[in-house]
Amino acid sequence: MSGLPSPIGSALVTDLPGPVHHDDDSAPHRQRRIGQRPAVRRSLIGLAAFVGAGFLLLPVVVIFVEALRLGLGPYFEAISESATRHAIWLTVLTAIVVVPVNIGFGICAAWAITRFTFKGKKLLITLIEIPFSISPIVAGVAYLFLYGSQGLLGPLLAAYEVQVMFTVPAIFLVSLFVTSPFVARELIATMQVQGNDYEEAALSLGASGWKTFLLVTLPGMKWGLLYGALLCNARVMGEFGAVSVVSGSIRGQTNTLPLQIELLFNDFSSVGAFAAATILTLLALLSLAGKIWLERQR
């Protein structure tokens, strides 16, 4: 399907005919005969435009207006505050750690699933999609019961003085959980379409497996890979629920940008909260632009 993937699964993603991408440059591909009377047409377009402006665009506009309510000076003061700066850095760091790991996982999963037949494949695909369907809060709580002092591994970790909960690695771990399906899902769809004829040809000509992967598979799946990484990145940077359970919200230490927004909101600092929100919004708009660009490339 075009657009971002569903957070819940088509466990049958391998059965999909691959992503359908409509060509954005063309006009609607075919004039449908019904619904073309000017009155119907105009009112439907008007309604859609109203929904788009009022329901989708307005929330973005309000963020910037609220952030700049007191002018540019207070705005830049708010985003250069040290705790907010640290939150920006931590959010970026989390993405830097999490996205590559999930790319690695995605490649492995897609390789195993699309290049081989084995028993339990459908179950494996469902397992990969589980994090999509679980509420972020449940994910956070689950990690607490694994690594917390009352949790499964808590006592063992405490014996070795390893602290996981309320640290930056805990934020990495829940982010890995929440975003693990994004790259895998895109790659499975892409590599399914790609097929393995070229790889088999390369291998039979004596290329090594690694070389075949680099020179044959990777170029073919490059756009799918970037697309999945983009979606994964957008979600990592914006994750709130799961991170809020495991982070401990220490200013300047374990506060990511979405948590910092909540904190500033509770500090009566409306401009600060909205200023921090503008940064995430700009990142979201960047993701959207990247997505449109990637769809053109494919």
Partner 1 sequence: MTLRNLARAGLGFLLLTGLLAGGVHARADEVAAAAPGDILNVSYDVGRELFAEINPVFQAKWKAEKGADVTINQSHGGTSKQARSILEGLQADVVTFNQVTDVQLLHDKGQLIPADWQAKFPNKSSPFYSLPSFLVRAGNPKNIKDWDDLARDDVKVIFPNPKTSGNARYTYLAATAFALDKFGGDQAKATEFVKKIFANVPVFDAGGRAATTTFVERGIGDVLVTFEAEVQGARKEFGADKYDAVTPSLSLLAEFPVAVVESVAAKRGSQDVSTAYLNFLYTPEAQEIIARHAYRATDGTVAKAHAADFPAVKLVTAEDVFGGWEKIAKEHFASGGLLDQAFVNQ
Partner 2 sequence: MAVTTATPPRHHRRRRVIPGFGLTLGITLAYLAIIVLAPVLALALKAASLTAAEYWAVVSSPRAVATYKITVGSALIATLVNAVIGLLLAWVLVNYDFPGRRFLDALVDLPFALPTAVAGISLTALLGPNGWIGQWVEPLGWKIAYAQPGIVIAMAFTSLPFVVRTIQPVLEEMEPEAEEAGLMLGASDGQVFRRVIFPTILPAFIAGSALAFARSLGEFGAVIFIAGNLPMETEITALLTVIRLEEFEYPAAAALASVMLLAAFVMLFVTNAIQLWHLKYVRGD
Positions in the binding site for partner 1 (CB under 8 A): 108, 118, 144, 148-150, 158, 161-169, 172, 248-253, 265-268
Dig out the tokens for 275 from the structure: 């200023």
Residue type, 92: V
245 touching partner 2, by CB under 8 A: yes
173 touching partner 2, by CB under 8 A: yes
Q: How many helices (H) and strands (E) does the chain have?
A: 14, 0
Residue 58 has φ and ψ, to the nearest 5°, of -55, -45
Instruction: From the list partner 2, partner 1, none, pick the one residue 297 interacts with, judged by a Cβ distance below 5 to 8 Å according to partner type.
Output: none
Which is closer to partner 1, CB of 240 or CB of 265?
265
166 touching partner 2, by CB under 8 A: no
Which is closer to partner 2, CB of 180 or CB of 190?
180
Question: Cβ of residue 267: shortest distance to partner 1, in angstroms?
Answer: 6
Calculate ∠ Cα 261-267-268, nearest 5°.
Answer: 100
Quick one: which of 224, 228, 258, 272 contacts partner 2 (CB under 8 A)?
Answer: 258
Which is closer to partner 1, CB of 21 or CB of 69?
69
- Please report which residue ranges of 116-212 form alpha helices under DSSP H: 121-133, 136-147, 154-159, 168-194, 197-204, 209-212
Q: Looking at residues 19 to 58 of the shown chain, list those that interact with partner 2 (rule: CB under 8 A).
A: 20, 22, 24, 27-35, 37, 40-41, 44-45, 47-49, 51-52, 55-58
Instruction: From the list partner 2, partner 1, none, pick the one residue 161 interacts with, judged by a Cβ distance below 5 to 8 Å according to partner type.
Output: partner 1
Quick one: which of 59, 71, 195, 219 contacts partner 2 (CB under 8 A)?
Answer: 59
How far is 261 from 279, CA to CA, in rounded Å?
11
Which of 12, 183, 3 shows the shortest CA–CA distance to 101? 183
Question: Cβ of residue 164: shortest distance to partner 1, in angstroms?
Answer: 6
3-state secondary structure of 71: coil
172-197 burial string, b = 16+ CB within 10 Å, else e? Answer: bbbbbbbbbbbbbbbbbbbbbebebe
Instruction: From the list partner 2, partner 1, none, pick the one residue 188 interacts with, judged by a Cβ distance below 5 to 8 Å according to partner type.
Output: none
Name residue, tokens 């059965």. 15
For the residues of 91-121, what is the DSSP string, one character each? HHHHHHHHHHHHHHHHHHHHHHHHH---TTH
- DSSP summary character for residue 5: P
How far is 2 from 18, CA to CA, in rounded Å?
10
14 touching partner 2, by CB under 8 A: no
Instruction: From the list partner 2, partner 1, none, pick the one residue 238 interacts with, judged by a Cβ distance below 5 to 8 Å according to partner type.
Output: partner 2
Question: Cβ of residue 120: shortest distance to partner 2, in angstroms?
Answer: 10
Dig out the tokens for 217 from the structure: 């598979």
Structural contact between residues 98 and 236, judged by C-beta atoms closer than 8 angstroms: yes
Of 75-83, 158-166, 185-193, 199-207, the segment contacting partner 2 by CB under 8 A is 199-207
Quick one: which of 68, 70, 74, 111 contacts partner 2 (CB under 8 A)?
Answer: 111
Instruction: From the list partner 2, partner 1, none, pick the one residue 266 interacts with, judged by a Cβ distance below 5 to 8 Å according to partner type.
Output: partner 1
Which is closer to partner 1, CB of 118 or CB of 210?
118
Question: Cβ of residue 81: shortest distance to partner 1, in angstroms?
Answer: 11
